Homo-oligomer: A and B are copies of this chain.
Amino acid sequence: MDKEIGIKEVARLAGVSIGTVDRVIHNRSGVSPNTFDRVTKIISETGYKKNNVASRLKLAKSSTLNIAVLLPNEAYQESHYWHLPLQGVEKAIEELQGMGITYELFTFYMGNEDSFESAANEIFKNDFDALLTVPFFYDACHKITTEKNQHNIPIVFLDTKQELSHCYFIYQNSYKSGAVAGRLLHQVIGKKGNYVIVSLTNTNIREKNMVEREAGFRAFMQEHTKVAEERIFSIQNSSNNLSAVKTAFEQIANSEPLGIFVTNSRAYLLTEILKRSKHLNTTMIGFDLNANNLALLNENKIQYVLNQKPDFQAYNAIKGIFKLLTEGNSSSLSTDIPVEILIKENLM
């Protein structure tokens, strides 16, 4: 079989030494055009593929691949959402043990664009082979994907897709996840009920994901259901002050079933309000399996949780970075992670 052909055989067929074949494989300088062509031809004819295991064994010590991972400061807290990507990173690094790849964790503060930018600059100053991070500050991210990236290392973003080039995204399509929420709620509530989309933020910025989830939800409702637009309410609250939400809830007719779509991880904040509300027949769907949501899912106070699988995203990112760095293949670095639907019974 073609598979078994190694560098030695290619060298023999091309009439050169294995050192020269290696130079061609890696596009290193110092090969005459003539030789280059001859070797290239043999490689494509034989279907030769570099043995990555041997390659990494040789290189593991002298040129360990070092990935900078830049996450929100909360990554250090074991119970926190931002700890999950770290777990995915660790799992991938563990699987690649012996292949000469490590990572170093850097953090920034969610509310502080400067902290992000200076951490990134620190990373670029040092000799990392790739950067894995999250694109929450658009301007800073624009900078780091362009002029700041002196050594032109691959940059992979998790969590959110942004309009940025010279970089990769591994994320969940928020528009689609809004549609998933739409389908699940509509299935239960039907066209005669009411729907409320709750977007609670603790800053005055509505995250891109939240906006897209609402858009996906509304588009689903419009295209696939007969729910009248007047039955779909939006509540936005920029200071996490729940009394505004409470007031809004009171204004929604409570004689009909109510579907509640929380566009971020804060669904757990609503259960207190619901307890005191006159709405008896509610179904709630939110995002992310934090400890609060998990507990409420188990108590059936929240019915559905959509999971962005941040650990899986990061796991795939590291595997993809490794593939890019060792095989020049970036195909796994632009992935739309499917929306995972969790209910009490399929929790792990």
Contact = CB atoms under 8 A, between A and B. Distances in A.
A205 interface: no
A274 interface: no
B343 A340 contact: no
A343 B283 contact: no
A97 interface: yes
Contact of A346 (B97, B339, B344): B339
A307 to B, nearest CB: 11
A326 to B, nearest CB: 11
A57 interface: yes
Interface stretch (A134-142, A183-191, A226-234, A247-255): A183-191
Interface centre among A52, A98, A177, A179 (most CB of B within 10 A): A98
Interface in A298-348: 300, 303, 338-348
B184 A343 contact: yes
A345 B182 contact: yes
Contact of A179 (B52, B184, B345): B345
A283 B188 CA distance: 10
A60 interface: yes
Contacts of A346: 176-177, 180, 338-341
A179 B346 CA distance: 8
A348 B173 CA distance: 11
Given A53-B53, A54-B98, A348 B338 contact: yes
A103 B76 CA distance: 42
Given A188-B187, A340-B340, A98 B51 contact: yes
Nearest to A184: B343
A148 B109 CA distance: 61
A56 interface: yes
B99 A180 contact: no
Contacts of A179: 345
A180 B53 contact: no
B339 A345 contact: yes
B183 A343 contact: yes
A60 B176 CA distance: 44
Contacts of A54: 57, 98
A220 interface: yes
Contacts of A347: 338
A343 B180 contact: yes
Contacts of A184: 343
Contacts of A345: 176, 179-180, 182-183, 220, 339
A170 B31 CA distance: 51
Contacts of A177: 346
A284 to B, nearest CB: 11
Nearest to A348: B338
A296 to B, nearest CB: 15
Interface in A26-40: none
Interface in A123-149: none
13 contacts: A51-B57, A52-B97, A52-B98, A53-B97, A54-B98, A57-B57, A183-B344, A188-B188, A338-B347, A339-B345, A340-B346, A341-B342, A341-B346
Which 6 residue pairs across A and B have the least CB separation, nearest first? A53-B98, A341-B341, A339-B346, A180-B345, A179-B345, A51-B98
